[in-house]
Structure 1
Amino acid sequence: MSYTIALNFEDGVTRFIGCKAGETVLDAAYRQKVNLPMDCSDGVCGTCKGRCEQGAFDLGDDYLDEALSEEEMAEGQVLTCQMVPSSDCVIQVPVASTLCKTAVGRVKGTLAVVERLSEDSIELAVDLDEDSELAFLPGQYVHIDVPGSEVHRSYSFSSLPGEMRATFLIRNIPNGVMSGYLSERAAVGDRLSLTGPLGSFYLREVTRPVLMLAGGTGLAPFLSMLEQLVRRGDTGEGAEAPIHLIYGVNKDDHLVKVDALEAFKERLPNFRYTTVVVDEMSEHPRKGYVTHHMDAEVLNDGDVDVYLCGPPPMVDAVLKHFDREGIIPQSFHYEKFTPNQVEEAA
């Protein structure tokens, strides 16, 4: 038996390794040429400390309290030299990937589909090469090289990890480098290079109500997260926790993938969604911004995990709204994107 361990480094790089039954994370990492921090490997120094965000494991009792205190353990801290997983795990490693002599992954694929979904949204599908290994956590992103240029653009996956066809929602920006390529020159069969996965914005274990806030093509990572919840078929503590997505756009015809959201309602009984349009001339029943449609029920007195992905003005507006209203979610994960880059905060 083997478990998949996602190592998230502080520079945003994620590396996936396999861990054999009975093997420590530190040993598994070294076996796969990922040099996690360590000095003693005996549970004495605490150098290999990280934080396990999800998954089951055993730490045993062969380590010193000075290396890992009870308070640290209660916060999810672990010693990778003692940690023996009993399920797939996600671990935050508090150093840069370069210090661990591991690099971000790079794979190639073939352009399969380019579809104009709306005035401002394009869907891109890439069939990955058969020998490609591109594991990621739902919500993460990759850099995609723009053919015919020396630049890349960053996009979140809308597809599920492990699939050989990766999909993305891309904002159609006038004179944009990637938008121009997809609108004017792209052809099925073009070769594309993807670098990643990257980012600390990803789905955590669901243990309480979840509020998802999407702006425009910021819907993409939530499609991946929702598909993961369907596939995972949770039966644990958070299996019945309500999941509410508020999806805001500027104009009526900017609403895309609503059919997919409707399908998720059938596949996830605890999921519901709300669409919002900014345009005052819209005939949509809900106008304004996402902050206008966050009622007390979805905020659950702060006992809620909030995920937010959208353009910087939207992210900033939500942050200010939370601060002004004194809203402090149990956990808050957000990502704001620009045409040229992705910024995240865990």
Structure 2
Amino acid sequence: MSFNIALNFEDGVTRFISCNVGEKVLDAAYRQKVNLPMDCSDGVCGTCKCHCASGEYNLGDDFLEDALSEDEAQQRLVLTCQMVPDSDCVIDVPVPAAACKTGIGSFEGTVIRSEALTPSAIELVIALDKGVDFLPGQYVNIQIPGGTQVRAYSFSSLPGDTQASFLIRNVPGGMMSTWLGQHAKAGDVLTLTGPMGSFYLRPALRPILMLAGGTGLAPFLAMLRQLAKTPAEQPITLLYGVTKDTDLVMVEALNELAARLPNLTWLPVVTDEASTCPQKGYVTDHFSEELLNQGEVDVYLCGPPPMVDAVLRSFRERQITPANFHYEKFTPSQNATDNAAA
């Protein structure tokens, strides 16, 4: 038996390692050629201090308070030279991946299909030799065949699946959109790098409000599929905003997830005044006191920059500060350096 440990570096790179029962994280990382920061390795200096974002662990008591104070331990700061996981964990490492002599992983996938779901959205499904670990919500860079340029897309599939899916905005004249629409065929080989990103599902400790704009629905499909596997008791609401009725995609998949997650409510929101959707306007028009829960809510937002700015402005005007607010902006030409998440 072993535990899956996600190491999130400050430059957005995520590296997964396997940690045996009773093994310290620092030792497991070194065994897998990831040189986490360290000096003494005895719980004395504090050089290996990181933050455990989720998971259960034991620190023992063989370390000095100068290395890790009681207050720091209460905030889930850990010494990786002393930390022994009791479950899968996510650890934030406060240095770039390159400083730990590791980097972005690279792998190949084979196109199964590229399908235009609507005039504005394409679903790309690829086969992988083996499942890829990632945190639901994270993205990879996909290299455009025939060139060196890449575009960043969030997984909509589950971590570890041997089929990976992506929901891609169809940009007229866009390099990836053009390739997918005019050239892609089953059997084509794609190169992907990642996973990356700080936009990912955290433990569900309070009500969850998900806000998706257009193809920003993709990471939420991955999150909801994960939640369907390991259900949370907290209520989950997804507001899915699009411009026109015809822009709505993956409705059947969302209904199936709602059937598996009785605490999930999802609502389409359409800006077009001629829409037949009961919820018209913008997602911010449908914030209720119940949804915002006086700030005791974890908000996840993925959409174009104007949507992100509008949500931030709405929170300010309502004088609401969510307990946790994780967001990701995307643009049509997004790549790893364009990706903005918080």
Shorter-chain TM-score category? over 0.9
**Match runs of 1:38-53 below 5 Å:** 38-53=38-53
Corresponding residue of 1:35: 35
CA distance in 2, matches of 1:266, 1:224: 16
Corresponding residue of 1:137: 135
Please report the RMSD computed on the Cα atoms of aligned residues, expressed in angstroms: 0.9
Structure 1 residues 239-279: Cα deviation after superposition (integer angstroms, max 9, x where no partner):
32100000000111000111111111110011011110011
Stretches of structure 1 lacking an aligned partner (at least 5 in a row):
none
Do residues 264 (structure 1) and 257 (structure 2) align? yes
Do residues 114 (structure 1) and 110 (structure 2) align? no
SS of the equivalent of 2:109 reads strand
Residue identity matched to 1:38? M
1:113 offset after TM fit, Å? 0.9
Structure 1 residues 69-94: Cα deviation after superposition (integer angstroms, max 9, x where no partner):
11111111111000000100000000
Corresponding residue of 1:186: 184
Corresponding residue of 1:56: 56
Residue identity matched to 1:70? E
Corresponding residue of 1:325: 318
SS of the equivalent of 1:328 reads coil
Stretches of structure 2 lacking an aligned partner (at least 5 in a row):
none
Do residues 70 (structure 1) and 70 (structure 2) align? yes
Do residues 228 (structure 1) and 226 (structure 2) align? yes
Do residues 297 (structure 1) and 297 (structure 2) align? no
Structure 1 residues 99-151: Cα deviation after superposition (integer angstroms, max 9, x where no partner):
000011100011001111111000000101x2x45210000000000112220
Structure 1 residues 169-199: Cα deviation after superposition (integer angstroms, max 9, x where no partner):
0000010000000011111111100000000
- The correspondence for 1:337, drawn from 304, 327, 330, is 330
**Match runs of 1:132-171 below 5 Å:** 132=130, 134-171=132-169
Structure 1 residues 272-329: Cα deviation after superposition (integer angstroms, max 9, x where no partner):
1111001122222211111001111111111110000011111111111112211100
Indicate conservation of the 8 Å contact 1:107/1:133, yes or no: no
Do residues 82 (structure 1) and 82 (structure 2) align? yes
SS of the equivalent of 1:127 reads strand
1:50 offset after TM fit, Å? 0.6
1:231 offset after TM fit, Å? 1.1
TM-score (norm 1): 0.96
SS of the equivalent of 1:313 reads helix
Indicate conservation of the 8 Å contact 1:14/1:199, yes or no: yes
Instruction: State which drifts further: 133-142 or 206-215.
Output: 133-142
Corresponding residue of 1:285: 278
Do residues 209 (structure 1) and 202 (structure 2) align? no
SS of the equivalent of 1:324 reads helix
Indicate conservation of the 8 Å contact 2:131/2:163, yes or no: no
TM-score (norm 2): 0.97
CA distance in 1, matches of 2:249, 2:50: 39
CA distance in 1, matches of 2:131, 2:53: 23
CA distance in 2, matches of 1:207, 1:221: 19
Indicate conservation of the 8 Å contact 2:131/2:159, yes or no: no
| Count of residues in Structure 1 that have an aligned counterpart in Structure 2 | 339
1:344 offset after TM fit, Å? 3.0
1:57 offset after TM fit, Å? 0.5
1:343 offset after TM fit, Å? 2.3
Indicate conservation of the 8 Å contact 1:4/1:88, yes or no: yes
Corresponding residue of 1:218: 216
CA distance in 2, matches of 1:15, 1:320: 34
SS of the equivalent of 1:213 reads strand
**Match runs of 1:238-257 below 5 Å:** 239-257=232-250
Indicate conservation of the 8 Å contact 2:239/2:267, yes or no: yes
CA distance in 1, matches of 2:69, 2:40: 17
SS of the equivalent of 1:37 reads coil
SS of the equivalent of 1:98 reads helix
Indicate conservation of the 8 Å contact 1:105/1:134, yes or no: no
Indicate conservation of the 8 Å contact 1:13/1:197, yes or no: yes
Indicate conservation of the 8 Å contact 2:5/2:90, yes or no: yes
CA distance in 1, matches of 2:280, 2:168: 24
